[in-house]
Amino acid sequence: MRVPVVLISGVDPDAMASAMVGLQFDLPGAVAVRHHIDVERGVLTRTVSDLTGVVENHETLLEHACVGCAIREDIVPTLTRLARDGRWASIVAHLPVGAEAAHVCSVLTWDTRLARFLRVSGVVAALGAEHPVRDLLGDDLLADRGRHSAHDDRRGVGEVLAAQVEYADVVAFDGTPDPVATSLVTALARPGVAVLHGGHALDGTALTGGIHTHAATDAWTDPARTDALPDLAGEGVWRLDLQSTRAFHPGRLLESLESLGGGTHRSRGCFWLPTRPGRVVEWDGAGGQLSIGDSAAWGRRTPFTRIVLTGVGAAPAHLRAAFDGLLVAPGEQVAHPGGEDGFEPWLGPIREVA
């Protein structure tokens, strides 16, 4: 029988601790494992405990202090070892601050050797209730708060936390946030995901029972998703779903990235470039910070451009016009002198010519 694993992700250590403690008391037969990265020392600390107390505490020197190294070198091997031990009915895994559960799920889902011993049964995104809107839509970096996972970690708090919320099966605040914050999180989370107030509200039985479905989370977080979005519930939140079959003009996009990517909102989706017609390009932004990267091949799909923007208050009036202005106009020719389009730093060299 495979041991169920509940993953806890977040950017707020107190909120993550609250969720872990709540689950430990709700699951008396569980073992909890907490990983913490000390960037300055280059050390990963692993603490394993159950209701009897601390079972083990171990430090590992990482060749590179980063989440990827931690997952590969200690987190996945530890989860596998605890599952094979046979002493515990379930595992609660407190991931390093800023780590994305999706990375662990990918390893555990596709490695058939590991899948014989454990399964990810639920993913929890833990949020602080004090200023969640600022956390999601502000421009702070993880490094600004001392929560980065490597010396060169320049990720934004909002970028990381929004992705964690969007991937989660349950979202748990560590207290009672204001209604607008709850509405924002509900708008970002997968439809039907519970948004709870307080770590004590987590239902361990439901989480270990298997509410996580890899296909469902992949579909919701896919940058090239095509599903219609549900109506917004709650108050104080806006959303724009901007779509076109046309490509973005690479020159205008480079000059005007901030027109869509800047501002206090969450933006994600995909686009295509006439200079790279076979590739899905991912758009991932929050709080004025934007990441662009090569995602996948379009294959037999018809390329399209779709950017979904979500924020609080009133939607900026310029966003729709800015989106339209970035699109290649019908009949417009796009030159790429020297075989380059300016996106080489993010997407690599052009391998296909329109």
Taken in order of first residue, the domains within the chain and their CATH numbers are 3-221 (3.40.50), 237-347 (3.30.1220.10)
Taking only the tens place, the pLDDT of each residue in 293-330 is 999 999 999 999 999 999 999 999 999 999 999 999 99
Average pLDDT estimate for 206-229: 94
- Closest-CA residue to 292 (of 312, 273, 311, 317): 273
pLDDT > 90: what percent of the chain?
80
Tell me what pLDDT residue 65 has: 59
Taking only the tens place, the pLDDT of each residue in 244-255 is 999 999 999 999
Work out the pLDDT band at 151, boundaries 50, 70, 90: confident
Work out the pLDDT band at 6, boundaries 50, 70, 90: very high
**Residue 9 clears pLDDT 50, i.e. is over it:** yes
Q: Which of 171-175, 183-187, 303-307, 335-339 has the lowest mean pLDDT?
A: 335-339
Work out the pLDDT band at 66, boundaries 50, 70, 90: low
Tell me what pLDDT residue 237 has: 97
33 vs 113, residue with greater confidence: 33
Query: How far is 175 from 185, CA to CA, in rounded Å?
Result: 14
**Residue 202 clears pLDDT 80, i.e. is over it:** yes
Count of C-beta atoms within a 10 Å radius of residue 147: 22
**Residue 234 clears pLDDT 90, i.e. is over it:** no
**Residue 67 clears pLDDT 80, i.e. is over it:** no
The answer to whether the CB of 6 falls within 8 A of the CB of 124 is yes
Q: Which of 29-33, 35-39, 162-166 has the lowest mean pLDDT?
A: 35-39
Average pLDDT estimate for 69-89: 89
Whole-number CA gyration radius for the chain? 21
**Residue 291 clears pLDDT 60, i.e. is over it:** yes
pLDDT > 70: what percent of the chain?
98
Tell me what pLDDT residue 150 has: 85
- Closest-CA residue to 256 (of 322, 329, 344, 320): 322
Query: The tokens of 327 are what?
Result: 């699109």
Query: The tokens of 181 are what?
Result: 């914050």
The answer to whether the CB of 195 falls within 8 A of the CB of 181 is no
The answer to whether the CB of 78 falls within 8 A of the CB of 33 is yes
42 vs 84, residue with greater confidence: 84
Tell me what pLDDT residue 353 has: 42
**Residue 92 clears pLDDT 60, i.e. is over it:** yes
CA 224 to chain centre: 15
The answer to whether the CB of 324 falls within 8 A of the CB of 258 is no
**Residue 110 clears pLDDT 60, i.e. is over it:** yes
**Residue 352 clears pLDDT 60, i.e. is over it:** no
